[in-house]
Chains A and B, each alone.
Chain A
Amino acid sequence: MPHDSLLLWKALQGIICVYKPAEISVKSLRKKLITKLCKDLSELDVKLRHPNPKLTALPVSSDPHTNSIVETESSENALEDISSSAISSGISHIDLRYHPLVVGPRYLDEDLTVSWSNFLGWNTSGVLLFGLRSGTQYAKFIRENRSTRAYRVTGSFGKATDNGFKTGKVVEKSTWKYINQNHIQQILSAMQASHQKKVFEISGVDIHSQTAYELAAKGPIRPVNSEVPIIYNLKCLDYEGPGFTIEVQCINENENYLTTLIHDIGIRLHSTAHTTAIKCIRHSCFTLEHALLPKHWNLQNITKNMDMCSKLLRDNESVINQTSAVLN
């Protein structure tokens, strides 16, 4: 079988797990990925087809019916010596149609379809899943299965901003010195309890029924639709000075919801708070460990990452193929 970049192109379908830095949109990250992959593939294609850099033209297939064979005449101009000698001297029958300088890159950006399975906002960093080519289907399944995600959100007490994030304009200031970690933990536990109560109310089953009992016996369950954000676990990791970090295990959330959550925490503690950073540390079975930094994006690393992701998905089938409302 001839070496061809097409083999690699065909193999390049599946889910990859990348790291999204803050202050860049998912859209531009996707574009960056596509550009990088297509460029690498096209370069590889040229390298495989024309291993000898001097001999850039491809000899034509030995088909007598081809009427497009061109005999390049040795030109008698001043450029003869300076032009790439391979074209004029080495081979006489050359089909120039496939010359890399004529056809250009083999893989164009629009050939590679990529879609994301979780959307992270502009200010959020962390684990992001992309589906490449036929992997976009899996990306869709993962997205529609609404798997749980874990976030590490840092906030700061004392100031409230107009957009809830540190970049916004300060609209309110307050005291925060009286707050201690126990206060925060109390509030968080109360919030978590109310969410767990709410999930049964909107689960679609009568709370007094046998079904509801059986579901509850199995553990936490998923909400019935993708509209309502539900928090399963809230934990204060550390608190020093005005800054604090909480870990949120949740479903159906978005960036706005998390900033509002921090704002609410501030208000419940009789103070004000704004978010300083949001990081997605886990998406279903994918963690930060699996995520590939943008600077490491190249063909080799991405295929490796894809392998690892498909293995992970095989081990955790429920991510793609979900059978019950019970959270796992």
Chain B
Amino acid sequence: MYRFRFIFRKIEIKYIRNASSAVEGNVSCTNTSTELVDNQQNALTKADTSKRIDLTAISKILRPGAVSSMYVNKSDILQQLLKLGVELYKLEKDPEGMKFILTLKFEDIKDTIIFLKELGVETQQIGYIITKNPLLLKESLDDLKVRINYLQYKKFTPEMITRIIENNPVWLTHSTKEIDDRLGFFQKTFSLTANNVRALATQCPRLITYQMDKVKLNLFVLKEEMGFNDVEIKKILLNKPNLFKNSQVRLLKTFEYLHNTMKIPLETIVREPEVLSCREKRLKERHSFLAKLGRDQYDPKQPNYVALTTLIKEDDVVFSTEVAKSSVQTFNNFLKSI
């Protein structure tokens, strides 16, 4: 299979190159596709002699953009999606999705798009949503309305709903029951109030539809391996929900460096949970630089205190001049010395 893939790539690269050198850009669409089909048939020695082969079926082994650039001039739906700013070459990655979209007419999806627009979603965001989740167009309008009604019933304000839909393209493909289960899970596990749940869903909508196993795993890591208590975990969740989407290995590595090497107490980490989202490598580089300069002082009660958030947030220039009171050149040389 790998060899075929290689052959396809070669052919495809050749054609795209030809096509994209705009001077001789009139290698016609149909021509390219039949040639490709020919090659594919030779390679796979298919019994089927008809020249019409559905290109979406082999889109995975073609260069991204190959299928959509062959269809875009003929297909109305693709042109309309293009106007919305949908990245068509990304849609191709899922052959089923592309196949489904090519069978659509613009009339079919018009209502869904108007519906999204009425919810206050920006046009660019509609394009983004469809790029990320083309199967949203498969959902019936009534279902979507029910799902929005559910949110309204749960006292989400219109701004919250807009933010949720803009930030999490897959939210609307989840049924009401699923979403209810997920919200219930968070409320129960972290003993949140209704307001907390709404704040959480608005702040990080993707966490709600994230794989629950991973959230549970991270909860375990925070609770059993790092030793935070329930109240502290709740604080961390509400302050920095994204942490629960990180891989548990990375989380633990960062924590170990913070707690064992930098001697940061747990209370400080709870107060500034964004330090846990920093990579261990970055933390190591910066801490060892400060340690070399004798500036690694993270206790707010003593002079020359370095705040953890400023330590990790700023870029290298600001960090080396403002925080470490040194120069970028020194910092770069230091990076080469470790």
Mark A residues whose CB is within 8 Å of B.
19, 21-23, 58, 60-61, 63, 65-70, 72, 75, 77-79, 82-84, 87-88, 95-99, 101-106, 108, 110-111, 125, 277, 288, 291, 293, 295
B281 A21 Cβ-Cβ under 8 A: yes
Q: Are A97 and B69 in contact (CB under 8 A)?
A: yes
The residue in chain B whose Cβ has the minimal distance to the Cβ of A99 is: B82
> Could you tell me if B64 and A97 are in contact, using CB atoms closer than 8 angstroms?
no
Instruction: Give 15 pairs: A residue, B residue, CB < 8 Å, sorted on A.
Output: A67-B28, A78-B114, A79-B83, A79-B110, A95-B25, A96-B69, A97-B72, A98-B69, A101-B88, A102-B72, A103-B65, A104-B89, A111-B13, A125-B338, A277-B338
Q: How far is the CB of B166 from the nearest CB of chain A, in Å? A: 15
A156 to chain B, nearest CB (A): 16
Give CA–CA (A311, B172) in the complex, Å: 58
Q: Are A83 and B336 in contact (CB under 8 A)?
A: no
Task: Enumerate chain B residues within 8 angstroms of A75, measured Cβ to Cβ.
Answer: 80
What class of interface size applies to chain B in its complex with A? 35 or more
Which residue of the partner chain, among A19, A61, A125, contacts B23 with CB atoms under 8 Å? A61
Of all chain B residues, the one with the shortest Cβ separation from A49 is: B22
Per-residue 0/1 for B62-81: is the Cβ within 8 Å of any A Cβ (1 yes, 0 no)? Answer: 01110011101110001110
Number of A-B contacts (CB under 8 A): 114
With a cutoff of 8 Å between Cβ atoms, the chain B residues found around residue A97 in the complex are 19, 29, 69-70, 72-73
Chain A contacts of B114 at CB under 8 A?
78
Asked if B336 and A78 make an inter-chain contact with CB atoms under 8 angstroms apart, the answer reads no
Q: Please state if A102 and B89 are interface contacts (CB–CB under 8 Å).
A: yes
Docked pose: A102 CA to B19 CA in angstroms: 13
Min distance, Cβ B265 to any Cβ of chain A, angstroms: 26
Looking at the complex, which one of A61, A79, A125, A288 makes contact with B113 (CB distance below 8 Å)?
Answer: A79
Contact yes or no, A96 B26, CB < 8 A: no
With both chains docked as a complex, state the minimum distance between the C-beta of B79 and any C-beta of chain A, in angstroms.
Answer: 7
Q: Are B25 and A61 in contact (CB under 8 A)?
A: yes
User: Is there a chain A Cβ closer than 8 Å to B335's Cβ?
Assistant: yes
Q: Are A293 and B65 in contact (CB under 8 A)?
A: no
Q: Is the CB of A95 within 8 A of B73?
A: yes
B residues near A58, Cβ cutoff 8 Å: 22
A19 to B336, CA, bound (A): 7
Which residues of B are found within 8 Å of A65, using beta-carbon distances?
Answer: 26
What are the residues of chain A within 8 A of B64 when measuring CB–CB? 104-105, 108
Question: A293–B335 contact, CB under 8 A?
Answer: yes
> Are B89 and A68 touching (Cβ within 8 A)?
no
Q: Which of A79, A97, A111, A291 has the most CB of B within 10 A?
A: A97
